[in-house]
Amino acid sequence: MRKTFLLLVSFFLLVWMTTINSSAEDKYEIAIFAGGCFWCMESDFEKNDGIKEVVSGYIGGSTKNPNYKNYGKSGHLEAVQIFYDPSVISYTELLDIFWVKIDPLDKNGQFCDRGHEYSTAIFYLTSQQKKLAENSKNMLDNSGILKKPVETPIKKAGVFYPAEDFHQNYYKKNPLKYKYYRYRCGRDKQLREIWGKKKVLDNSVKISAKYRIPDLRQLEEKLTPLQFDVTQNDATEPPFNNKYWDNKREGIYVDIVSGEPLFSSTDKYKSGTGWPSFTKPIAGASLITKEDNNWFSVRTELRSKYADSHLGHLFNDGPKPGGFRYCINSAALRFVPKNNLEKEGYPNYLNLFEN
């Protein structure tokens, strides 16, 4: 009887430990970056809070199980696989750190390491990572920080192959050799020349931009369930039972996700459909159109440029002379009243309401 009891206790203890370990592992997500020497990238990222582990390895080539002797010949790049806790550090913050640790203008290697195997790349694992990476790269290009366009490509991740044990935690196991290599390679000196001393010391480029996209988890906290479902899952809200279908106030409508200006009240009209309708986008807005074959018909879907939010659809039954009806979900929009435009960072649109 006692033996059976001990066996049962051992069994439930094992199940409990397995559940605890599984829950702990579930909170970590993975990011993959190539930034030249993986010893340096591993060292640079492991210093940050929220990062559990950084693994050096190879990715992007044509052969399986590459090693340090042949990975370059088969097209692989040196890269790092980062296990991080998104509740502590976001993917967007990882991107900010990544940029300031590389030379994004060099497409033929990094610093003293030359050749394709030492070139840079962002390898995305999800559509959300792809969206955030493209947004970050676009903001960097438009920020004026760099004198030329960013050369770092954004690619879909294939199989990541961990490097040999010798290369893992090299900066810890061989600190003197590592510091000597890094110094002779001129990595830190050139990083300061590219980014300026302050950004390097801050460990982040911290791109200043209005239209930064939150991570998926941050979006779930920021948006209501309906707003999330509309913008991220292409849902449609009910007509005549939404926030702005009958809004007559003066102001502009911006993307609920990124804040990018989309429409003006000066172009809003009563369409009778029960959704906010506009004759045209606001000046400077770049909406993305896609063919939508759902609901047994072919329609033109509208999405925002920076956040890739689903907005609504475009129809050709609007008022003349243009004849367009931009039918938009209120849940995809945030209204900024005319009197708040300057305070909220949209002073350029005040002239829309001048008599």
Query: For 202-218, how does the pLDDT look when each residue is reduced to its tens digit (9 = 90+)?
Result: 677 766 556 777 788 88
Vertex 174: Cα angle to 173 and 180 (nearest 5):
155
Q: Say whether 223-353 and 26-211 share the same fold.
A: no
pLDDT of residue 354: 83
pLDDT of residue 337: 97
Q: Is the dihedral of CA 47, 50, 55, 56 positive or negative?
A: negative
pLDDT of residue 201: 66
Predicted TM-score (pTM) above 0.85: no
Active site residue 185: no
> Is residue 190 exposed (0-12), middle (13-18) or buried (19+ Cβ within 10 Å)?
middle
Residue of 124, 296, 151 lying closest to 216 (CA atoms): 124
Q: Where are the domains of the chain?
A: 26-211, 223-353
Question: Under CATH, to which class is 26-211 assigned?
Answer: alpha beta
**Options 40, 112, 185, 327, the catalytic residue:** 327
pLDDT of residue 87: 86
pLDDT of residue 4: 56
Question: Under CATH, to which class is 223-353 assigned?
Answer: mainly beta
Active site residue 40: no
Measure the CA–CA gap between 32 and 39, rounded to whole angstroms: 14
Q: Using 70 as the pLDDT threshold, list the residues of the chain that sit under it.
A: 1-25, 198, 201-202, 206-210, 295-296, 355
What would the pLDDT profile of 52-87 be if each residue is shown by its tens digit?
999 999 999 999 999 999 999 999 999 999 999 998
> From the CB of residue 137, how many other CB atoms can be counted at a distance below 10 Å?
20
Residue of 142, 74, 57, 132 lying closest to 98 (CA atoms): 132
> From the CB of residue 350, how many other CB atoms can be counted at a distance below 10 Å?
13
Lateral strand order in the sheet of 277-278: 268-269, 277-278, 325-328, 310-315, 299-303, 288-292
